[in-house]
Amino acid sequence: MIETFDLGRRFGDFVAVDRVSLRVPAGSVLALLGPNGAGKTTTVRMLAGLLAPTEGTATVAGFDARRDPAAIRARVGLVTDVPGLYERMTTGAYLDFFGAMYGMPAPARVRRVEELIGFFELADHRTERMAGFSKGMKQKVALARALLHSPDVLFLDEPTSALDPIAARAVRELIVSLKHARRAIILCTHDLDEAERLADQVAIIRGGRLIACDTPAGLRAAGSSAVMVRVELAEPHPAALVLLDTVAGVLDPWVVPYDVAQPKVLEYRTADPRAVNPRVVARLSADGAAIVSITCQTRTLEDVYVDQLNTREHPPISLKAAVAR
Amino acid sequence: MIDVEPVDETVAAPVLPSALLTTWRIARRAAVESLHDRATYTMSLIFAVVLPLGVVIGVLRPESLAANTAARAASLATLMGVYVLIVGLGPSSGAMNIAAGVFAGEKEKGNLAPLLATPASNLSIFAGKVLGSVIPAWLYILLAEAIYLVALATILGPDRLRLLSVSLWFSMAALVPPITVLGAAVSSFISSRVRTYNAAQMATGLALTPVMGLLIGVGFALRDQGSGLRLACVAGLVALDLLILRLAAGTWRREEVMAHQ
């Protein structure tokens, strides 16, 4: 549904997007992560038919981004980083205007506007000018606008920002149902938890380059071979840290909170927890330490994200690698 | 949960509304928005009300009181005709202000991208924006001209109003709408190529001040010419508008607007 190959965009000498290759099949969500100015918005604008690529190719809903941007725009729903409403209009009039812009016949427009106003709980504000709306309400109207024409492809930039937890949850459920209805969705977000929950693939972009793209689990697994292990003791055991340091395979042991004299909770990293953890348990038990629990901590997407952004050089990911995923 | 239909890949392309209808919808929306904008209507109302009254009371009334010979009366009649142009051009400046904001201003507010993301053509968007800037100005111009005529009739008297040649009044009034379109088209074009509303206003002012000065000069020069030449000037101005609109709309790309962010 969305496929790019070495997609690039220059503004004069400035390279905003550099050789980005992505593949988002119908019925899947790709979370596009990256710091501000990384090239996410430019990438989305190219894919939404708003900006022509200067390098590479992009196909969206079966149409070429260079040759048929109008056909792409007719099939794409876009939520920008700001709601971008005509605030002097009422909600109903605003949605009706955009329905008309997408070529929806009047009866279908009226029905769809009613449906979306109901879904986003805006019925009480239908005849109010949007200037007085809260950020969350404006965000709901922007989402309704993007969904008006039932687009095949959705680009959602921070769709749940400014929403209260209940509304945010409803929007996340909507994204999942859209995915199940075979929409291809690109979600730009800084909410890594949301990305992890919703995305089938996570792409990290920095300096215009795609520096990582995989499933959330794949990224977590590939980022580092070492896992974090936490050991909790029933009572402080003064020799625990020294003992841990002598076990083969234990990396960087430390005490939490840092109190070397009275260690009760300890952490270490290891590349092979299956082999190392039993040795740790045996060594501590042999010295009389009472172990309450030993847990392997899963690496979060946030850890991966921070690691990726802290790495200095990244070669761009090729399409071959993207397709292989 | 809202109705989420599965994607049907056999469905044909959406039927897009006609370009004219889309243009009109964009224009109507922009015009209504401008008519509700406090700064715009305050400035336009000042031009539409204060300028004609000021002209009649401050300029034409002393002339009228002094017009006690046939030659002075003829001079007054010409002056009244020329001020039809000046009175109309006051509120027409509102169109340029509105047009300066249609791309750059909306870009700053972040509400331009959703419109550019629709399948509406470049021509529809550009023409709709220009028309949307011009419609409110035309309404204020009508108001200004009406106030001018009523002020002439009430302050100078119906006898003085009767001195105003219909031919001169018509040709001067007819110059105002195409001048307004010219200003709005140039202003919209500049607005689509700069980053901020202030930059658009400044560039528009620099580009249009000499042009407006020239056109006012032409208007004054035409007062003593025959009605044929005056109508030819109006027709020429309309042709120039069409040419500029065609060039501006033909070269305008939403791509340019998004690139200048």
pLDDT score of A260: 64
| Burial letters A58-76, b for 16+ CB under 10 A, else e | bbbbebebeebbbbbbbbb
Q: Measured between CB atoms, which of B6, B111, B259 is closest to A84?
A: B111
Domains of chain A by range and CATH?
2-222+304-324 (3.40.50.300), 226-297 (3.30.70.100)
pLDDT score of A82: 87
- Report the alpha-carbon distance of residue A9 to residue B243 in Å, rounded: 33
Of the candidates B106, B251, B232, B135, the one whose C-alpha atom is nearest the C-alpha of residue B186 is B251
**Contact: A52, B255; criterion CB under 8 Å:** yes
- CB contacts of A119 in chain B (<8 Å) are 1-2
Rounded to a whole number, what is the distance in Å from the CA of A101 to chain B's nearest CA? 6
**Contact: B2, A115; criterion CB under 8 Å:** yes
Indicate the average pLDDT of chain B.
Answer: 86
pLDDT score of A318: 45
Q: Residue A285 in contact with residue A291, Cβ under 8 Å? A: yes
Q: Residue A221 in contact with residue A300, Cβ under 8 Å? A: no
pLDDT tier, B228 (very low <50, low <70, confident <90, very high otherwise): confident
**Contact: A86, B1; criterion CB under 8 Å:** no
Tens of pLDDT, residue by residue, chain A (325 residues): 899 999 999 988 899 999 999 999 999 999 999 988 889 999 999 999 999 999 999 999 999 999 999 999 999 999 988 888 999 999 999 999 999 999 999 999 999 999 999 988 899 999 999 998 988 889 999 999 999 999 999 999 988 887 888 888 888 988 998 999 899 999 998 888 899 889 999 999 998 999 889 898 888 777 666 788 999 999 888 888 889 989 999 988 888 876 666 778 988 988 888 899 999 999 999 999 999 999 987 777 787 787 777 764 554 444 444 444 4
Q: Which residues contact A39 (CB under 8 A, 6 or more apart)?
A: A9, A16, A17, A18, A20, A205, A207, A208, A209
- CB contacts of B26 in chain A (<8 Å) are 101
Cβ–Cβ contact A130 with B under 8 A: no
Which of A86, A89, A172, A183 should we substitute to test contact with B (largest number of B Cβ atoms within 10 Å)?
A: A86
pLDDT score of A316: 47
Chain A residue with minimal CA distance to B28? A97
Cβ–Cβ contact A220 with B under 8 A: no
ipTM of predicted assembly, 2 dp: 0.82
- pLDDT tens-digit map of B44-94: 889 999 999 999 999 999 999 988 888 888 889 989 998 999 999 988 888
**Contact: A51, B114; criterion CB under 8 Å:** no
pLDDT score of A199: 94
Cβ–Cβ contact B15 with A under 8 A: yes
pLDDT score of B110: 86
Of the candidates B45, B41, B110, the one whose C-alpha atom is nearest the C-alpha of residue A87 is B110
Residues 33-72 of A with CB under 8 A from B: 45, 48-52, 70-71
DSSP assigned state of B118: S
Chain B residue with minimal CA distance to A51? B255
pLDDT score of A167: 83
Asked whether the predicted pLDDT for residue B36 surpasses 60, the reply is yes
**Contact: B109, A84; criterion CB under 8 Å:** yes
In chain B, where the domains are located: 19-259
**Residue B205 corresponds to which amino acid?**
G
pLDDT score of B254: 80
Cβ–Cβ contact B118 with A under 8 A: yes
**Contact: A178, B4; criterion CB under 8 Å:** yes
**Contact: B113, A89; criterion CB under 8 Å:** no
Rounded to a whole number, what is the distance in Å from the CA of A17 to chain B's nearest CA? 13
Query: Considering the entire predicted model, what is its pTM?
Result: 0.80
Q: Residue A230 in contact with residue A295, Cβ under 8 Å? A: yes
Q: Measured between CB atoms, which of A74, A82, A118 is closest to B16?
A: A74
Tokens of B198: 């202030």
Rounded to a whole number, what is the distance in Å from the CA of A325 to chain B's nearest CA? 24
Q: Residue A209 in contact with residue A245, Cβ under 8 Å? A: no
Q: What are phi and psi of A16, to 5 degrees?
A: -85, -40
**Contact: B2, A116; criterion CB under 8 Å:** yes
**Contact: A103, B17; criterion CB under 8 Å:** yes
Tokens of A3: 């496929």
Cβ–Cβ contact B125 with A under 8 A: no
Cβ–Cβ contact A98 with B under 8 A: yes
**Contact: B119, A97; criterion CB under 8 Å:** no
pLDDT tier, B28 (very low <50, low <70, confident <90, very high otherwise): very high
Determine the average pLDDT of the residues in B188-197: 86
- pLDDT tens-digit map of B108-129: 888 899 999 999 988 889 889 9
- Dihedral over alpha carbons B56, B58, B59, B64 (to 10 degrees): 70
What SS3 string covers chain A? CEEEEEEEEEECCEEEEEEEEEEECCCEEEEEECCCCCCHHHHHHHHCCCCCCCEEEEEECCEECCCCHHHHHHHEEEECCCCCCCCCCEHHHHHHHHHHHCCCCHHHHHHHHHHHHHHCCCHHHCCCEHHHCCHHHHHHHHHHHHHCCCCCEEEEECCCCCCCHHHHHHHHHHHHHHHHCCCEEEEECCCHHHHHHHCCEEEEEECCEEEEEECHHHHHHHHCCCEEEEEEECCCCCCHHHHHHCCCCCEEEEEECCCCCCCCEEEEEECCHHHHHHHHHHHHHHCCCCEEEEEEECCCHHHHHHHHHHCCCCCCCCHHHHHHC
Tokens of A64: 């070429």
Cβ–Cβ contact B214 with A under 8 A: no
pLDDT score of A225: 66
**Contact: B113, A177; criterion CB under 8 Å:** no
